[in-house]
Every structure is written in C-alpha cells, then in structure tokens.
Structure 1
Amino acid sequence: MTATAPPRDRAPAGPPPAARSAPPLWRRVSDSGWAFLLPFLAVFAAFMGWPVVYGFWLSLTDSTLVRTGGDFVGLANYAEALGDPLMWQTLGNTAFFTLASTVPLVVLALVMAVLVHSGLPGQWLWRLSFFVPYLLPVATVGLVGQFMFNQEIGVLNQATGADVGWLSEDSVALWSIVIATVWWTVGFNFLLYLAALQSIPDHLYEAASIDGAGAWARLWSITLPQLSRITGVVLVLQLLSSLKVFDQIYLLMGNNPTDATRSILIYVYDTGFTGYRLGYGSALSYIFLAIVVAVALVQTWVGSRRNKGAAA
C-alpha cells in the first residue's frame, strides 16, 4: 500500500494585484528611507539653502544695514567689484597666505609624522607637543602671537636682539601670521599623516630590508608612494582652510588689519558690517565662493587623474 500525502492547506485567495490599494504616502516615504533624511533636509534648507539663496538675492540689490530690501541693481555690484582695486589686493593677500602656509603645513606635518613613527624615544611627549597647539582656541593663539611678535617685549626680538615690528611692518606682518598659523594648525595634518603611516603594511619594509634597501630608499620607494592619497586629502583640506583665513589675522592685528594683511573675508566683513553695504558685500562673498569652488573642482580633477594613472 502506498501512503498518500495529506492535502496541503491553501492560503485563502486574496484580491488580485490590480485590485489591491496602494499604501499611503507616509508608508511609502518610510519604506524608501526618506523619513530619516527629512529632518536633516529641513534643517539644511532652513540654515544653509535659504541663506545661500537670500544672500545671492542681496548681491543683486543695493541693500544696506540701515535699509534692507533695497532696489534691484542686477550685476552692478559684481561689475563694481571687478573694478575694485582693494578687492584684488585682498584676494592677492589671501592667495599669498594660502601658498605660504599650505607648503609648510604639508611638508612639516609629513616630516613630524615620519620622525615620530620612526621610533623616537618618548613618542607620547612628541605626539602631545605636536598636537596640543591645534586644540587651543583662536583667541588664545591671537594672544600668544601678539606676545611673540610684539616689537618691544616680544619673545622673538628679545631672543634675537632684533628690533622688528613683526605685526606693524607691512613687509613682514603677513609672514608673521603665516608662522603663527603653521604653529597652530600643523598638529591636525600631523595626526592624519601619523594614522596613514601606521596603516602601511610592515611586510613591505621587511621585504625592502631583505633586498638591501636603506632607510632613504624605503622612504622614497615605499613610504611616500603609500602616502600619496592622504597627501592629496591633506592638500585639499589645507587649501580650502587657508583660503578662508579670517580669525587669526583679525585677532593678531588687533581688530584693525592693514591693507597689506587684510584677507578677502575680512574685506567682506568690513564692507557689510562696517561700511553697511550688504549688497556689495554679498557680491564680494559670492565672487570668493566661485573661486573656492573652482579650486576645489581643480583639486578633485587632479586627484582623480592621479588615481586613474596609479590604477593603470
């Protein structure tokens, strides 16, 4: 005799797919993940999106601090800015500061990270001394800088016996700000490089040592090529940070920067909040925004080309 399987229970037939009602809108939004993004998008639109749009509208008007909602003037503010010699001078100061600070902030951070990673005695002390200045608030950096660069009682003049107005002479004032900035912010790049060095596999150095490669050969053939990606990241971050310089110049110069040390953002601030010209100040800020975006795009394009070349 053969046993027969009991009949399976069949699920009750539901309505055909075409007849089923669509889920409510809130259910579809929740299932798609947009419900998690909506709070962030709302905050972003309120505090980032709308100010950007409103600021651009202000740049097309002659609004002031005492008379908001001024008349529409189109691109007149932009045309005036392009013919403003003070704007070009402040852009030149900003470009000079960016180049003069970015190079040492990348090179010194790399050298410091390599020295610490090489096994110097007292590594915790070196790491602490290199990184602690980055934790200082900018107001403290301003006070330290004024004490260091003061012409009469400054540490530099007292130690060297010189009589240089580090912050009062136009020829050296911007260099003094560069030195203070490098001392203050090099610790962040140092930390990035140190983390990247610790991620390099040890077997690469062991194989190179077996092949007879010395310390310099290992540095040029292994360490620097392995750090190429993080160097690109550090370079982009440093360029964008240096272009936006404001605080240390404003504080080191005693809230009164000269034309030789004024950055473009300080000029925007002075135009909008000291000269009361909100429309023209907004136009200056959007010209600077276009420059920052262009620099970021160029850096991204160069980095992608370098990565493609390395992959090939």
Structure 2
Amino acid sequence: MSVAAAHVTDSRETRSGARGDWSSLLYVAPFLLIYIVLVVYPLFSGMWLSLHKADFFGERVFVGLENFTRLLADKVFLGTLWNTFYFIVLTVPALAIIGLGLALALNRTTRAAAVLRGVFFSSSVLSVTIVTLLWRVVFIPDGGFIATVLEMFGKPPVAFLSDEDLALPAIAITTIWWCIGLPMMLFLAALQQVPKELYEAAALDNAGRWKTLWSVTLPSIRRTFALVIIIEIVLQFQLFGQAQLMTLGGPNNASRPIVLFIYEVGFNRWDIGYAAAAAQILFGLILMAALAQYFVARRKGEA
C-alpha cells in the first residue's frame, strides 16, 4: 500500500470515528438535556436565589450573605438543625443494627425465611401518608394501641405526639418501621457474597456462633455496613412527611426538621430567598455525606 493510500485510509477512519462519537452523543443528548433542566439549572438557580431577598410576587433584591447570617441567628432554624441531627442519631444506628439482625436471621433458603423477607420489606413500599396514619393510631392517647396496653396494666396513657421529649422519638420509631426493608436487603445481598470457605475454616477451628460473627461475618461486610450508614444518613436528613403529618413540627418546634422549616418559610411565609438559603445549608450537609459514600465505595472498588 502506498503512502497516499494509507493517508486516505487513516483520514476515512478518523472521520468515521468522529461520526461515531457524535452519534454516541446524540443517544445521550435527551438524558443530558433533562438532567440539565431538572437538576443542574435548579441547583445553580437555588444558589443564586439564596443571595436575594425575594418572594413569589415582588422584585428580587440582592442581599449577598444576609440570608445565611439571619439563619445563623434564627433560633427556630438552629432548633431544626438540632432536631434533624437528633433524629439521625435515633434512626440511623437502629436501622443499621436491626437491619443487620434481620438479615442474619433471614439469610436462609427456606420458604419461611423468604416469606418473612417479603413481610419486613413490604413496609418500605407504603406511602408516608399510610404509614403516619397507622402509627398515629398506635400513639394517640385516646384509644390508641399503646394507650390500650398501658390501660390493661393500670397505667395512664402517654401523649407521645404532644410531649416535647417524646414526639421526635415517636417519629423515629415510625421511620425505623417504615425504612427497615432497604438496609435489610442490602445486608442480605452482602451476606450472600461472603465465601463459604471462610465459614468452613471457622468451623474447623471450632469457632462458636459469636466468634464467627465477629471474626468472619462482620469483617466481610464492613464496606456494606459503612454504605448503609451513609445512605441512611442522607435519607434521614430529608425527614419531612412524617413530621408534617404526625406533629406539624410541634409541640413547640420540638419535632420540626430542616425540610419542614424550608417548606414553611418558602410556601407559608413566601420568603423564598430565606428558604433557598436554608436549602443550601441542607444541600451542603447532604453533599458531605454523599462524598463520604463516594469515597467508601471507591475504597471498596480498589480493595
């Protein structure tokens, strides 16, 4: 083949490769367009809005970081931060530990185990409205399930949802019941990937059940355990429906989370610039948790 012919062939291959690259871009263009419209644009628009004093009908006035300064001096907002972190402490460890316990108990090939896995996971597919209605019946002091049980033992009923110290724990119990299916399934998937040779070696060493759990099972699923913790932190930061439907953030703001604060400021008070600033703080907190999840997953891939 002559040099000229080789040059023509290379040029044709280059043009063909370029056309292939553009064709590939056309395939992903609809997704990129939707992603930019629904995610990227709202993200940067919210950041810009947080620097303004604005409502739904008036003009926007640029105020810089004034909204963030107001938030740091707002006792109600600081209270929502405390409530949200307290809620995470109440729910995330419980979801991880109970989910792991259920996965260990149901990691069987029997029909009963399969049925129970479906039962425990079924609560995860219910809407927040149904879940909160069910648990309000459990917690209400006038004829509720817990009140009826206490009455059987001669104890007075407890107004969980009207007590400042018990309202958020009651919402946490509701959330744990509702969300336990996801961590259970993640742990089940991890347990089924543990090599059986490790358990056989532990049996040969006469290791007991607890020794096998601490020395074989938990080290084998430690990455999954970390991922479950981080995923649940990200999810529970977004607490909204349970608090709104069960307590409306009360009593005395004792169960008001950040998302409910954002909703009330933006849609009840129409101070959307202030609400956008609070949303940016929530975004920063979730972003840190998401980055932690990314680094854990990256380490898992390198291991």
The TM-score with structure 1 as length reference comes to 0.86
Mapping for residues 44-55 of structure 1, pairs under 5 Å: 44-55=35-46
Contact 1:141 1:184 in 2 (8 A): yes
Contact 2:227 2:297 in 1 (8 A): no
Task: Select which of 199, 208, 213 maps to 1:214.
Answer: 208
**How far apart in 2 are the matches of 1:205 and 1:185?**
30
Decide whether aligned partners of structure 1 residues 267 and 197 sit closer, same or farther in structure 2, where only a CA change above 3 A counts. Answer: same
Does 2:50 align with 1:63? Answer: no
Decide whether aligned partners of structure 1 residues 212 and 293 sit closer, same or farther in structure 2, where only a CA change above 3 A counts. Answer: same
Return the letter of the residue paired with 1:27: R
Shift of 1:131: 1.1
- What CA deviation, in whole Å up to 9, does each residue of 1:11-43 have, x standing for no partner? 996484599587499826426x32332221111
Decide whether aligned partners of structure 1 residues 120 and 148 sit closer, same or farther in structure 2, where only a CA change above 3 A counts. Answer: farther
Does 2:36 align with 1:42? Answer: no
Moved more, 110-119 or 157-166: 110-119
**How far apart in 2 are the matches of 1:306 and 1:29?**
32
Does 2:227 align with 1:233? Answer: yes
**How far apart in 2 are the matches of 1:195 and 1:18?**
51
Contact 2:171 2:243 in 1 (8 A): yes
Shift of 1:295: 3.2
**How far apart in 2 are the matches of 1:134 and 1:296?**
22
**How far apart in 2 are the matches of 1:18 and 1:136?**
61
Q: Which structure has the greater CA radius of gyration?
A: 1
> Kindly, what percent of the aligned residue pairs are identical?
30
Decide whether aligned partners of structure 1 residues 94 and 199 sit closer, same or farther in structure 2, where only a CA change above 3 A counts. Answer: same
Which residue number corresponds to residue 6 of structure 1? none
**How far apart in 1 are the matches of 2:64 and 2:122?**
48
Secondary structure (helix, strand or coil) at the match of 2:52 reads: coil
Q: Which runs of 5+ in 2 are unaligned?
A: none
**How far apart in 1 are the matches of 2:262 and 2:139?**
27
Does 2:117 align with 1:127? Answer: yes
**How far apart in 2 are the matches of 1:304 and 1:233?**
7
Which residue number corresponds to residue 191 of structure 1? 185
**How far apart in 2 are the matches of 1:25 and 1:223?**
49
Task: Select which of 3, 19, 33 maps to 1:27.
Answer: 19
Shift of 1:211: 1.8
**How far apart in 2 are the matches of 1:11 and 1:119?**
67
Which residue number corresponds to residue 66 of structure 2? 76
Secondary structure (helix, strand or coil) at the match of 2:165 reads: helix
**How far apart in 2 are the matches of 1:108 and 1:217?**
20
Task: Select which of 141, 146, 153 maps to 2:131.
Answer: 141
Does 2:252 align with 1:252? Answer: no
- What CA deviation, in whole Å up to 9, does each residue of 1:223-254 have, x standing for no partner? 1111101101111100100111111111122x
Does 2:127 align with 1:150? Answer: no
**How far apart in 2 are the matches of 1:41 and 1:133?**
34
Secondary structure (helix, strand or coil) at the match of 2:56 reads: coil
Does 2:284 align with 1:293? Answer: no
**How far apart in 2 are the matches of 1:74 and 1:133?**
45
Contact 1:62 1:279 in 2 (8 A): yes
Contact 2:121 2:181 in 1 (8 A): yes
Instruction: Count how many residue pairs are aligned between Structure 1 and Structure 2.
Output: 297
Decide whether aligned partners of structure 1 residues 207 and 39 sit closer, same or farther in structure 2, where only a CA change above 3 A counts. Answer: same
Return the letter of the residue paired with 2:173: I
Does 2:79 align with 1:85? Answer: no
**How far apart in 2 are the matches of 1:198 and 1:129?**
20
For the aligned residues, what is the CA RMSD?
A: 2.8
**How far apart in 2 are the matches of 1:205 and 1:184?**
33
Contact 1:65 1:273 in 2 (8 A): no
**How far apart in 2 are the matches of 1:70 and 1:197?**
54
Which residue number corresponds to residue 271 of structure 1? 265
Decide whether aligned partners of structure 1 residues 256 and 307 sit closer, same or farther in structure 2, where only a CA change above 3 A counts. Answer: closer
Decide whether aligned partners of structure 1 residues 15 and 183 sit closer, same or farther in structure 2, where only a CA change above 3 A counts. Answer: closer
